[in-house]
Amino acid sequence: MQDSISTSAFKQVDVFTSVPLMGNALAVVLDAEDLDSATMQRIAAWTNLSETAFVLPVTQAQADYRVRIFTPRSELGFAGHPSVGTAHALLEAGRIPGKDRLVQECAAGLLPMRVFGEGAAREIFVQAPPASLRACDTETTRSVASALGASPSASSAPALVHLGINWLICALDGEALVRALTPDMDAIAALCAHLGAVGLSVFARAQNPEYAIVVRAFCPGDGVPEDPVTGSANAAIGSYLHASGALDSVGAQYRASQGRELGRDGYVTVRVDRVTGSVEIGGQSVTCIDGVLTLPQC
């Protein structure tokens, strides 16, 4: 006998781009109130995107919406491109008020959002959770270098950055080195599992008028060998630059390029408060699929 089914409004959104097929794709299930955690995880594995977002009724009065975020293998407390993309999907669908300040409820807490412009020109920013950093010891730094097949920058050691999730962040010397990397994914997965990190993100200063840094993010342990354009990793890099005293090299507001190695061309705008160290990340989004998803009932 066929299982009973339900349906949900569904969008697939390209985030950190205004051009379809060029950003980081996000699946958004807009009517997820009847889904349990196991079903959400099953759907996220089925979409096989780096993240799938599930919109739920709020539990805190201050919030405009609530979201749970899943990779193909696990739930995340916070992620940048699902935060930006979900807000885009909800605004486009008329599910939340069209205003310039929003509050997102997620596992990491209540996160302020800012909205600039309308329609195709709209840019959405999310304030990342407060970050804490721990510099890597010599042995971990050697493991990072071995996994990447490249030496970390001598000016600053790799660090584990916690902001709702843990990212291992490593600075390299030069855009060409970042773009040419062919890392050992098994070694990255083992290292991140040992450290409790979702992935390893690398960056370098770029000499380009369109962007200040170039970024790549590797999450093989979560079923995403390389993420096309990563909001949380870019937020972690902003915190890393602030904590290491390197923010002046790029400025308190800068643009990051990510995804070209995967045939994408995403751009993340990063804003860092020089005094508090708080980080906002944001950019544009574009809807590529708008329809109805058929779901199993729990």
Q: Which residues are catalytic?
A: 51
Positive or negative, the CA dihedral 264, 67, 294, 9 is negative
Extract the tokens encoding 21. 């097929």
Three-class secondary structure of residue 297 per DSSP = coil
Among 58, 49, 61, which residue's Cα sits nearest to residue 10? 49
Round to whole Å and give the CA distance between 88 and 92: 6
Round to whole Å and give the CA distance between 167 and 281: 16
Round to whole Å and give the CA distance between 128 and 183: 28
Among 62, 59, 103, which residue's Cα sits nearest to residue 83? 103
Residues 6+ apart with CB under 8 A from 83: 67, 69, 104, 106, 111, 113, 126, 231
The neighbour count for residue 21, using CB atoms within 10 Å, is 12
DSSP secondary-structure letter at 128? P
